[in-house]
Amino acid sequence: MAHQNPEPQPGGISIGTMHGGAVAQGSHAQAVNVSQGAADTSELRDAVTALREELRRLGELEAQLTAAEADIAQTGQIEPSRLAWLRDRIAVGATAATGLAAAGQAAEQLARLIGGQG
């Protein structure tokens, strides 16, 4: 089934398919195109990969913290191996800080691709 675009309303516009470019409508409207052609997404890919890895690690941390909470509620103690695992990963908030840095990298790359300030 073919997609049909609605007819523009009086004073309006209708755009079927558009790749890049800019559109403005009205007597004082301005269209600004900040597209820069085919973007190099390799840096974005690397940033997204790093962010996904850090989020996976944070998920593991959250699961271990939940298990530690359950241990404390049930026995009043934390299993020594879990305690060591948590100590190694929480040291000075390194996991969260690294995750935020990866998110910042991904946001910067996305902003560059869409013409933001990045």
| Range(s) of the domain holding residue 55 | 42-113
pLDDT in tens, 68-113: 999 999 998 888 888 888 888 777 566 667 777 777 777 787 777 6
pLDDT for the residue 89: 76
In a domain, 86, yes or no: yes
Mean pLDDT across 40-57: 82
> What whole-number distance in Å separates Cα of residue 59 and Cα of residue 64?
9
In a domain, 90, yes or no: yes
pLDDT for the residue 98: 73
Query: What's the mean per-residue pLDDT of the chain?
Result: 75
In a domain, 25, yes or no: no
What is the pTM for the complete model shown? Answer: 0.43
b/e burial code for range 69-105 (CB count within 10 A of at least 16 → b): eeeeeeeeebeeeeeebbeeeeeeeebeeebeebeeb
In a domain, 15, yes or no: no
In a domain, 17, yes or no: no
How many structural domains is the chain composed of? 1
Q: What percent of the chain has pLDDT over 70?
A: 70
In a domain, 28, yes or no: no
